[in-house]
Structure 1
Amino acid sequence: MAKIAFIGLGVMGGPMAGHLAAAGHDVAVYNRSEDKARDWAQRHKGRTYSSVANAADGADIVFSCVGTDRDLREVFEAASSKMRKGAIFVDHTTASAAIARELAEKAEAMGLGFLDAPVSGGQAGAEAGKLTVMAGGETSVFAEAQPIMAAYAANMTLIGPAGSGQLAKMVNQICIAGVLQGLAEGLHFAKRADLDVEKVIAAISKGAAQSWQMENRWKTMRDGKFDFGFAVDWMRKDLGLVLDEAELNGAKLELTKLIDAYYADVQAMGGKRWDTSSLIARLERAKS
C-alpha cells in the first residue's frame, strides 16, 4: 500500500481519490474548498490538509486533477518541494502538452518521476472506477504507478514520452466533438422527419453508427435535458488546447474549429454548464 496525496477533489478527483482509499492506500487530500475536503475525509476516512505542500509531505505518489496549466504548475511547485526523492507525480488534469514536458523536465532534475495522465470516461467512469488513462512519461515510472491507478482505471496505456498523454487526450476530444455534432444533427433530422426516434436508435445503434455517445446520450438529447455531465465550458477549454496545439503542429482541424464555434453559441444560449450533448439545443432553437 502506498502513501498518497491527491490534489483536487472535483467531480473527477473526488471519486478517484475515494477509490484509492477504498483500495487500502494511505490517502491525504487537499482541495481549495476546505469544506469539500473535510466532507471527502469524513466519507472515506482519509486525511485532509490546508496546503498542497503539507498533503504531499513524504508521499510516495502525488496525484493532481485540477483546472488549468497555471493551477497545475502551482500544485507541482508546492508538492515537489516536499516529495521524497524517487516519488512520482501523476497529473490527471487535461492540460497542454507543453506544461507536461516542462514539469517532466523539472521532476527529472529533482529526482522525481512524472506522468501526464489525462483521463476519459467522465464523472460516471470516475464513480464506477472504470476510467481510461492515456499517459506520457518513462516506462519505469508508468509501471510503478499503474497498479495504483488500477483502483479507478479499467484501461491504461502509455502512449509515449512526456506530453504524449495530453496529445492523446486531444485526439479523444476531437473525436468526441465530431461524434456529438453528427449525433445532434441525426437526431434533429429524425425529429423533423417525424420519425419515432426510439425506433431509429434501436435500428442504427447496432450497426456502424453505434457509439458511446449514442448509447448514453440519445434520450436526453431527444428530451432536451442537459443539466448533468461534462460541461460545455470544460469542453471549450479542452478544444482551445487542441486548436492551440494544431497551430504548432500544422494539423488541419476544420470541423473541430467549427464545432468549437457551435459550443460558443451554446454558451451564449445560457448553456455554459450544460452537458456537451447540448449541441442539439442549438439546432432545435435555430429551426423552431
Structure 2
Amino acid sequence: MSKVAFIGLGVMGYPMAGHLGKAGHVVTVYNRTAAKAERWVGEHGGTQAATPAEAAAGAEIVFACVGNDDDLREVTAGAEGAFQKMGQGAIFVDHTTASAAVARELHDEAKARGISFIDAPVSGGQAGAENGVLTVMAGGDEGAFAKAAPVISAYARMARLLGPSGAGQLTKMVNQICIAGLVEGLAEGLHFAKQAGLDATAVIETISKGAAQSWQMENRYKTMIEGKFDFGFAVDWMRKDLAICLDEARRNGAHLPVTAIVDQFYSEVQAMGGRRWDTSSLIARLDKT
C-alpha cells in the first residue's frame, strides 16, 4: 500500500479518492472548498491538508483532478503547489482534461525537480468514477507509469500508457471528438424517429442490437426521449474539452468539421439554459423546432 495524496474532490475526484482509501492506501486530500475535503475525511478517513503542497509532502504518488490548465498549474508549480513539497522520485498523476501543451510543460518542470509527471485523463463519467471502472489514458515515462498503474487500478478497469508526455491528453481529445459526433448522430436519429411517427423506444431497442450500437445509445436514449438532462457530463465541460480539441487541431493540421459544428450546436444548448445539462441534450435543440 502507498502513501498518496488527492487534489481536487469534484464529482470525479471525490469517488476516485474514495476508492484509493478503500484499497488500503493512506490518503491525504486537498480541495479548494475545505468543507468538501472535511466531509471526505469524515466518510473515508485519511487526512485533510490546507494546501496542495501540504497534501503532497511525503506522498509517493500525488493525484489531481481539477478544472483546467490554469488550475493545474496552480496546484502543481504554484507557490503552494504540490511540486514544492514532493520528494525525489515521487510521481504526480494528473487526471484533469487539459491541453497536451500544459502536460508537456509540467512534465519538464517536474523532471527538473527530480519527480515524474503523468498526464492521465479519464473517460467513464461520474458513474465510472463512483463504480471504479474508469478508462485512463496516460502519457509520460514508462517507469513512472509502471509504478503508478497498480494504484490507479483502484478506480480504473483500463489504464494504458499511450506514449510520451501529452499522449494521454491527445487520446482524450480523440475520445471527445468521437463522442461529439456520436451524440449528435443519436440526437438526429431519435428526432427523425419521432417526426416519422415511429415508437422511438422500439426503434432503439431494435437497432441497438446491430451496427448502430454505442455506449451513448445504450445509456442515453431513454432520457433523450424523455427530455431529461439534469445529470451526467455537463455541456459547459464538453465545450471546454472541444475547445481544447479544436485548438490542438489548428496546431497539428487535423480537419475537424463535424466537431466544430457540434461545438456550435452545444453553444445553442447553452443559450437555451442548458449549461449544466448532460451532453445528450443536443436533442433539445432539434425537438424545440
The answer on 1:121 being equivalent to 2:117 is no
2:166 counterpart residue number: 163
Identify the range of structure 1 (47-56 vs 241-250) with the bigger mean alpha-carbon deviation.
47-56
| Counterparts of 1:202 and 1:282, CA distance in 2 | 24
1:33 counterpart residue number: 33
1:200 counterpart residue number: 203
TM-score by length of 2: 0.98
TM-score by length of 1: 0.99
1:89 counterpart residue number: 92
The answer on 1:24 being equivalent to 2:24 is yes
2:54 counterpart residue number: 54
Question: Aligned partner of 1:56: which letter?
Answer: A
| Deviation readout 1:14-41 (Å, 9 max, x if unpaired) | 0000000000000000001111111111
1:162-181 mapped onto 2 (5 Å cutoff): 162-181=165-184
| Counterparts of 1:163 and 1:246, CA distance in 2 | 14
Question: Aligned partner of 2:221: which letter?
Answer: W
Runs of 4 or more, structure 1, over 2 Å off, are none
Mind listing any 5+ residue stretches in structure 1 that lack a counterpart?
none
| Counterparts of 2:51 and 2:106, CA distance in 1 | 20
The counterpart of 1:101, out of the listed 104, 115, 134, is 104
1:189 counterpart residue number: 192
**Superposed displacement of residue 102, structure 1:** 0.3
1:235-250 mapped onto 2 (5 Å cutoff): 235-250=238-253
The counterpart of 1:210, out of the listed 206, 210, 213, is 213
RMSD, aligned CA = 0.5
| Counterparts of 2:266 and 2:260, CA distance in 1 | 10
| Counterparts of 1:161 and 1:19, CA distance in 2 | 27
Secondary structure of the residue aligned to 2:287 is helix
Secondary structure of the residue aligned to 1:160 is coil
**Superposed displacement of residue 50, structure 1:** 1.3
Mind listing any 5+ residue stretches in structure 2 that lack a counterpart?
none
Question: Aligned partner of 1:82: which letter?
Answer: K
**Superposed displacement of residue 46, structure 1:** 1.6
Secondary structure of the residue aligned to 1:216 is helix
Question: Aligned partner of 2:22: which letter?
Answer: A
